[in-house]
């Protein structure tokens, strides 16, 4: 297999290439590929559907079922990468563990990838083994134990599959009449055969934020906190910096450091928190660049993707600061689109200090994120106004039809 040779980087598509293989080829993976190519890495994008965003910019691409261990192994053996970077949760993690045992470098580790795709294991590790502060929660694998857990925690409660991503299968049971439908939604949205769900107290939070945590050879670094708004478990708006007191920031940094140290490995981790009555509560964690961290494309000299590459290649990670307050807003379609096209781009880019990322996804389903507006300003409130105005200018047109598709 190829190697980073202690910071020695080769030439793409040559015999000495340093190859990065990405398992998952969405919009975050696309930014990883672009950052990797600035360092002269050869990039291989693997995805579950053809023409995925990262595939459009990588040197090579493969379309496979990434939950099929044999298919993952075949691609890894063929690409012979220096680094394997899981970019999504739905991956054959047992095969990754075996490949790691054989000498392949899985980012951050195969264990971290396995633990964080399972809400049960990561919550147990964070709350019970590490001891960070969380809201009340319980797990259930039958309707009977689920009803008992909801009765104990009370409504409103958030119900999620233990294994899913991007809000799939997540809903809120606001009262006893919604308990059964929330159970069905979670079971249908699960990515595993166990059908286990997590029941969480609906935290009446003042705000929620992500602390992008960089584990590297010289220790742990943090990006300034990124505030965000989610709907049905999926990010809609983010901004950086997010205002915290010095004590709140120190508390969040301590929890993030302890949990990511326990997971091990190098790279960036998206650690999510709630802020409730001045108290910081751990929520979730992703062992990879985070969707809310798209704000770093405007706010920081080195984006979260640049920092991720530096950390996993054992390159220097400098002091991280916000150069200019930044906000992002997702472009989301409200109905299926077979062949997307975009109008209003000129108007969207006429908003001061605003840029766009249109992800190039070949088709869309209702609720799918198709792009993001990124704006800077002297303060985050102005930046948020700018991205809202920018996104409002864009219509997604289905070129198989004549009328625009509603967006939000």
Cβ contacts of 1-8, under 8 Å, gap ≥ 24: 1/80, 1/81, 1/82, 1/103, 1/104, 2/80, 2/81, 2/82, 3/82, 4/82, 4/83, 4/313, 4/314, 6/314, 7/313, 7/314, 7/315
Confirm whether 272 is a catalytic residue: yes
* Longest alpha-carbon distance in the chain: 63
Domain of 362, CATH number, reads 3.30.470.20
Confirm whether 65 is a catalytic residue: no
Q: Are residues 156 and 295 in the same domain?
A: no
pLDDT digits (tens, 9 = 90+) for 76-105: 999 999 999 999 888 999 999 999 999 999
Q: Which of 150, 168, 201 is the last residue of a domain?
A: 201
For residue 119, being part of any structural domain is answered with no
Res 3: pLDDT: 53
Measured in Å, how far apart are the chain's first and last C-alpha atoms? Answer: 45
In total, how many domains does the chain have?
A: 3
Q: Which of 106, 124, 150 is the last residue of a domain?
A: 106
Q: Which of 151, 171, 201 is the last residue of a domain?
A: 201
Q: Are residues 339 and 219 in the same domain?
A: yes
User: Any idea which residue has 């039958």 for tokens?
Assistant: 142
- Would you say 266 and 202 are in contact if contact means Cβ atoms under 8 Å apart? no
From 27, 89, 291, 389, the catalytic residue: 291
Q: Are residues 190 and 328 in the same domain?
A: no
Res 5: pLDDT: 44
Q: Are residues 377 and 251 in the same domain?
A: yes
From 35, 116, 164, 165, the catalytic residue: 165
Helices marked H in 126-209: 143-153, 179-188
Tens-of-pLDDT digits for all 408 residues of the chain? Answer: 655 545 689 999 999 999 999 999 999 999 999 999 999 999 999 999 999 999 999 999 999 999 999 999 999 999 999 999 999 888 999 999 999 999 999 999 999 999 988 888 899 999 999 999 999 999 999 999 999 999 999 999 999 998 766 667 889 999 999 999 999 999 887 766 667 899 999 989 999 999 999 999 999 999 999 999 998 778 999 999 999 999 999 999 999 999 999 999 999 999 999 999 999 999 999 999 999 999 999 999 999 999 999 999 999 999 999 999 999 999 999 999 999 999 999 999 999 999 999 999 999 999 999 999 999 999 999 999 999 999 999 999 988 776 677 777
User: How far is it, in rounded angstroms, from Cα 31 to Cα 37?
Assistant: 10
From 292, 303, 354, 390, the catalytic residue: 292
- Would you say 59 and 44 are in contact if contact means Cβ atoms under 8 Å apart? yes
Confirm whether 386 is a catalytic residue: no
| The two three-digit tokens of residue 395, written as one number | 């219509």
Cα→Cα distances 311→18, 205, 214, 266, 381, Å: 15, 32, 7, 6, 31
pLDDT digits (tens, 9 = 90+) for 154-170: 999 999 998 766 667 88
Q: Are residues 72 and 164 in the same domain?
A: no
Confirm whether 298 is a catalytic residue: no
For residue 112, being part of any structural domain is answered with no
Domain of 90, CATH number, reads 3.40.50.20
Q: Are residues 358 and 305 in the same domain?
A: yes
**320-359: string of b/e by CB count within 10 Å (b at 16+)?**
bebeebbbbbbbbbeeebeebebebeeebeebeebbbbbb
| The two three-digit tokens of residue 228, written as one number | 């965000």
For residue 215, being part of any structural domain is answered with yes
Determine the structural domain holding residue 182 and report its residue range.
Answer: 136-201
**Burial class (CB within 10 angstroms; exposed 0-12, middle 13-18, buried 19+) of 67:** middle
Q: Using alpha carbons, select from 180, 205, 185 the residue that is nearest to residue 195.
A: 185
Q: Are residues 175 and 81 in the same domain?
A: no
Q: Are residues 88 and 217 in the same domain?
A: no
Query: SS3 of 336, please?
Result: coil
From 114, 119, 369, 386, the catalytic residue: 369
In DSSP terms, 44 is beta-bridged to 21, 60
Res 27: pLDDT: 97
Q: Are residues 188 and 232 in the same domain?
A: no
From 284, 306, 389, 398, the catalytic residue: 284
Res 254: pLDDT: 98
User: How far is it, in rounded angstroms, from Cα 241 to Cα 250?
Assistant: 15
Res 4: pLDDT: 53
Confirm whether 292 is a catalytic residue: yes
With the C-alpha atoms ordered 358, 309, 107, 294, is the resulting torsion angle positive or negative?
negative
**Burial class (CB within 10 angstroms; exposed 0-12, middle 13-18, buried 19+) of 378:** exposed
Output the average pLDDT for the chain.
Answer: 93
User: How far is it, in rounded angstroms, from Cα 353 to Cα 355?
Assistant: 7
From 69, 167, 195, 360, the catalytic residue: 167
């Amino acid at each position: 297999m190829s190697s980073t040779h202690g910071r020695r980087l080769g030439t793409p598509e040559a015999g000495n290439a340093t190859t990065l293989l990405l398992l998952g080829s969405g919009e975050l993976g696309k930014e990883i590929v672009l950052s990797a190519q600035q360092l002269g890495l050869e990039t291989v994008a693997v995805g579950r559907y053809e023409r995925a965003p990262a595939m459009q910019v990588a040197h090579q691409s493969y379309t496979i079922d990434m939950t099929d261990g044999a298919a993952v192994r075949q691609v890894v053996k063929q690409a012979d990468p220096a680094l394997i970077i899981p970019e999504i949760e739905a991956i054959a993690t047992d095969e990754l563990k075996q490949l790691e045992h054989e000498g392949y470098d899985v980012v951050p580790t195969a264990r971290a990838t396995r633990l964080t795709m399972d809400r049960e294991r990561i919550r147990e590790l964070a709350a019970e083994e590490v001891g960070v502060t969380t809201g009340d929660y319980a797990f259930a694998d039958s309707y009977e134990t689920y009803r008992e857990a909801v009765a104990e925690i009370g409504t409103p409660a958030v119900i999620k599959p233990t294994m899913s991503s991007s809000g799939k299968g997540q809903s809120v049971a606001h009262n006893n009449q919604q308990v059964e439908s929330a159970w069905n939604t979670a079971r249908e949205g699960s990515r595993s055969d166990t059908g286990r769900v997590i029941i969480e107290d609906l935290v009446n939070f003042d705000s929620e934020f992500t602390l992008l945590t960089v584990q590297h050879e010289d220790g742990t670094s943090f990006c300034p906190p990124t505030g965000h708004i989610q709907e049905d478990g999926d990010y809609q708006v983010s901004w950086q910096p997010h205002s915290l007191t010095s004590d709140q920031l120190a508390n969040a940094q301590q929890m993030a450091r302890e949990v990511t140290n326990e997971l091990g490995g190098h790279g960036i981790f998206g650690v999510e928190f709630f802020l409730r009555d001045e108290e910081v509560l751990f929520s979730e964690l992703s062992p990879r660049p985070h969707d809310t961290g798209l704000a770093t494309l405007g706010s920081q000299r080195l984006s979260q993707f640049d920092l991720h590459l530096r950390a996993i290649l054992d390159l220097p990670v400098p002091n991280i600061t916000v150069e200019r307050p930044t906000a992002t807003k997702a472009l989301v379609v409200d109905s299926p689109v077979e062949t997307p096209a975009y109008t209003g781009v000129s108007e969207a880019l006429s908003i001061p200090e605003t840029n766009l990322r249109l992800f190039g996804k070949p088709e869309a389903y209702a609720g799918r994120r198709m792009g993001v507006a990124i704006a800077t300003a002297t303060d985050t409130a102005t930046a948020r106004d700018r991205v809202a105005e920018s996104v409002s200018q864009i219509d997604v047109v289905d070129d198989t039809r004549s009328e625009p598709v509603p967006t939000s």
